[in-house]
Structure 1
Amino acid sequence: MVRLPYLTALTTLFSYGLLFAFGHFRDFFRRILDAGKSSNLKGYAPICLGYEDFYTRRLYLRIQDCFGRPIASAPDAWFDVVERHSNDGNKTLQRTTKTSKCLNLGSYNYLGFAAADEYCTPRVIESLKKYSASTCSARVDGGNTKLHTELEELVARFVGKPAAILFGMGYVTNSAIIPILIGKGGLIVSDSLNHISIVNGARGSGATVRVFQHNNPAHLEDVLREQIAGGQPRTHRPWKKIIVIVEGIYSMEGELCNLPEIMAVCKKYKAYTYLDEAHSIGAVGKTGRGVCELLGVDPADVDIMMGTFTKSFGSCGGYIAASKRSFNISSTHAQPIFMQHPCRLQQSSRSSLR
C-alpha cells in the first residue's frame, strides 16, 4: 500500500485552504461594492444563490484548462493536443492553431489496443463489413451472432474458466448480474472500496450487505464469523448463500487485491467468491490474465470472474466467466443461472462459531 507523504498532504490542504479563504475574501468585498447596484432581474430568480457557484468561480475556473483538452488526432497512445489561451482569467478558453504531442494517460486505452494496428485494424474493418457495427437488437431477441459465441469461448479459455457470457456494458455487468446471483436470504460481503457498479448491484439484489475494511482479510474473517454465527436478521436462520466481492485492482487506489489471503478466508468459511477484474484483466500477469495469474491463484477456486473490454482491451462491454453449471446457455437465449443450493457452510459449522 502506497502512503501519501505528510508534506504533500499538508501542502495540498494548505493550498485548498488558501484558495478558499481568498475566494471568500474577494466575494465579501464584491458584495460590498455591488450593494448599491440593482440586480435588474425583472421578476426572475437569480440563477445562483449564495455560494452555490463558489467552487466554479474561485477554484475550477483557475485550472479548467487542465480538463476537456481538445485533440487533433486519433486517440492513440500518443496524440496531438490543441493548445488554448485565455484573456479573461480562464473564464473562457480560445483554441490556437498550435498542437503539442502528448502521452495519453487519460484514456481507457491502457495498452494502445484501440490504436491503428497492422494486425487488428484490417480484421476489425472486415468484421464491420460482414456483420455491421451492431446487431441492433438484444441477443435474446435474435441479435446473437457467431462472433458472440466465439468471443465467449475465447474469454473462457483466456481466463481459465469453462464458460463465459457477454454483456454490452461493463457497468451493467456488475449491476445486472449480482441481483441474479443472489437475493433475499443471501449475504453479500463487499470490500469497502468496491466500485459503484458493485454497490448498486448489491443494493438491487435484495440480499443483506455487509462491508469489510479495504483489502483486510482479517476483518473479512471477523465479519464472516459474526454473520454466520448470527444468521439472517430477525429469523437467525442460516444464510441461503454468502458471496464475498472484491476487485483485482482497485481503480481509484491502484492497489492489488490481497487475493490469496482473501481466498483462504473464503475457503475456510465456504463462501462464494466474486472477483471484479475490470482494471486487472489484460494489464497484469505474465500473459495478461489478471491477478490470478500474477498472484498464483487458481482460477478454478474463484467462483465468478467478472471483467470488461473497456479498459485494457480498448473496446466496450463486459463478461462473466464461471463454471458451466453456473450458466444455462443456448444459441437463442443466454441467461446466467448461479448455483441455487444454499451456502455450503452447514448448520454444524455455524454452531461451532458461537
Structure 2
Amino acid sequence: MDASFVEDLTIIRQLKANLESCILGKTAEVELLLTAMLAGGHVLLEDVPGTGKTVLIKALAKSVEGQFRRIQCNPDLLPTDITGVAIYHPKQETFLFRPGPVMTNILLADEINRATTKTQSALLEAMEERHVTVDGERHPLPSPFLLLATQNPIDFEGTYVLPEAQLDRFMMKFSLGYPDHETEKKMLFSQASGHPVDRLEQVADIERVTEMQGRVREVHVDEAVADYVVSITRKTREHSSVFLGASPRATIALLQAAKALAYLRERQYVIPDDIKYLAPFVLGHRMILHSEARIEGLTVDSVFQSIFGQIRVPVRLEK
C-alpha cells in the first residue's frame, strides 16, 4: 500500500465514525453516502420526516469542513434563488453577479419535490455541468460540488414529481428508515447533553476530499467486471416488466460508485459483489415498471433479483 492510500483509509474510518455517532444504527447508509461523495455523485434521500436525513448531511459537511448551504424548497422558490442573480450596480454602471446558495461544496436541497418543476430544472445544469448560467454568463461551481436532496414519499399535497431527466442525474437514491428499538433508546441518551453534530470535529478538508476522488478514479476495473456492469444495465432495458430502463449515464455512474465502494472497503480494485450491491441504489430510481407488472406486485428489487439470475458473474479476475 502506498502512503496516500493508507492516509485515506484513516480519514475514511474517521468519517464513518463521525457520521455513525450522529446517525445510530445506519452503517450501510453512511457507507452509501461516503461512496457517493468519493465518486463525485449526487444523492436523493427519500424518507418520512424525522429519520435523520438532514442531520446526516450536516454531519458530513462539518466533518470535511467544506462550504455548506441549505435550500428549503417550497412552491415560492424561484430559479434565481438557487443560481444567483445579476444586479445592476449604479456606481460601477454594470451588472454584478450575486451568487446563489448553489455556489458551495455541499448543497442540501430540503424537500426538493416541493419546488416547482421550473425551479427544479435550475439544478440540472449545476448537477451535470458543474456550473450555472445567469444572463448568458457561465459561472463555475466550487470543486467538489455535491448535491444532497431530500423528499417526503408520503406527502403529495403541494409537491411536484421529479422528472426522469433530473432523477437520472442523481447517482444514488436510498432511504434511512426507522431505527430498531435498542438503537432508538440509545438515541435518547446520546442527545442528553446536546446534539451529536455540535460535538463533531473536522477530520479532513475539502482539498483532501478532491484528492481522494482523484485516487478513486484510478481504482482498477477488470474487463470482465466492466462487461458485468454493462450486462446489468442493458438487462434493465430488455426486461419484460420494465417500461424504462437505466441510461448509459447510469452505466457510468454504477462503475464510478463501485470504484468508490471498493476504495471505502480498503481495496484498489472492483469486484462483482460491489456492482451487485450498488445496482439497486444506482439504477433503481432510473427504472419505471410497466403498470401490469406493478399490479402483479412486482417491485424494482424483485426485477433486480431476476436480472442477477440471468447474468453470469465473473469468477476469476486479474488484479
Q: TM-score, normalised by structure 2?
A: 0.28
Q: TM-score, normalised by structure 1?
A: 0.26
**Higher relative contact order, structure no. (Cα contacts within 8 Å, ≥ 6 residues apart):** 2
More helix by share: 2
